[in-house]
Amino acid sequence: MYRAAVPGPVQSIERAAAILRLLAARSGRLGLVEISASLDLAKGTVHGILRTLQSVGFVEQDPTSGKYQLGAALLHLGSSYLDVNELRARALNWSDALAARTGEAVRVGTSMDSRVLIVHHVFRPDESLQTLEVGNLLPAHACALGKVLLAYGPAPTRAQASQPLEGFTRVTVVDRRALTQELGRVREQGWSQEVEEWQPGEAAVAAPIRAYGGLAVGAIEVRGAVERLCDYHRQPKTEHVTRVREAARAISRELGAARW
């Protein structure tokens, strides 16, 4: 495929923006014909763009008149993308299944003020005494969930990037450059790991939960003792990695990340 050295503007995104502006400018609803005429575009082209915008919630179609208007998702663009309680409800079945299959504890987290908010926690199924950790906030750089959220989330602001990274054990990643490198690896392989970087003796593997468009809205991890979760080289066992990624994919499908 030919690629220009400096990619130019993407035509369909420009057209989508024009459609959104047009819908925002008119108080009432607009039909396909009106939109095509206003922008001097073929009806087929406009229809394709409208359907895409509709699928991400930026445009809504009135079921009776068939006319289009701005969608609710667009109005809430600035606020939280996915309700955390909704995330938990959607993750419930698959995190249960993950805990059952691995025999380990499972947690789901999302980003909150550059830390990780635990939104769901399934106990390790061994009847031992455990406390619910929902609502806890964790330092992102020191845990598997956080590394996924950092790797797939927005780049840190300059202020954030100048903050020193706190060490919790001898192996917590406290060097910015080392962290950046690790996040690159996370993006490459599609999952993250944490081996005694937060709590001695504990390890975790996490993978991203995505919503439509592929946006990472959370992460799911499996967590347990290093000797159970890792092999002799202190690397997470492949079966755990596979299962976490499968669970993450299943939840993502529920959230509408169709082709992921």
Do 137 and 197 touch, CB atoms closer than 8 A?
A: no
Q: How many CB atoms lie within 10 A of CB 242?
A: 13
Residue from 17, 100, 137, 258 binding another protein (CB under 8 A): 100
When asked if residue 56 is in the footprint of another protein (CB under 8 A), the reply is no
DSSP run (H or E) holding 121: strand 115-122
* Interface with another protein, residue 81, by CB under 8 A: no
CB contact burial 122-149 (16+ within 10 A = b; e otherwise) = bbbeeeeeeeeeeeeebbbbbbbbbbbb
Measured CA to CA, the distance from residue 146 to residue 121 in angstroms comes to: 15
Q: Take residue 252 and report the two structure tokens written for it.
A: 């993502």
Alpha-carbon distances of 108 from 32, 62, 133, rounded to whole Å: 42, 36, 10
Q: Is 97 in the site for another protein (CB under 8 A)?
A: yes
Does 256 sit near another protein (CB under 8 A)?
no
Minimum CB–partner distance for residue 85 and another protein (Å): 4
Q: State in angstroms the smallest separation of the CB of 76 from another protein.
A: 9
Tell whether residue 240 is a contact of another protein (CB under 8 A). Answer: no
Burial (Cβ within 10 Å: 0-12, 13-18, ≥19) of residue 152: buried
Considering the complex, state which of residue 66 and residue 135 has its C-beta at the smaller distance from another protein.
135
- Selected binder of another protein within 130, 157, 160, 235 (CB under 8 A): 130
CB of 108 vs another protein, minimal distance in Å: 11
Stretch that binds another protein, among 31-39, 77-85, 185-193, 194-202 (CB under 8 A): 77-85
Task: Give the residues lining the site for another protein (CB under 8 A).
Answer: 72, 83-86, 88-89, 92-93, 96-97, 99-101, 120-123, 125-127, 130, 132, 134-135
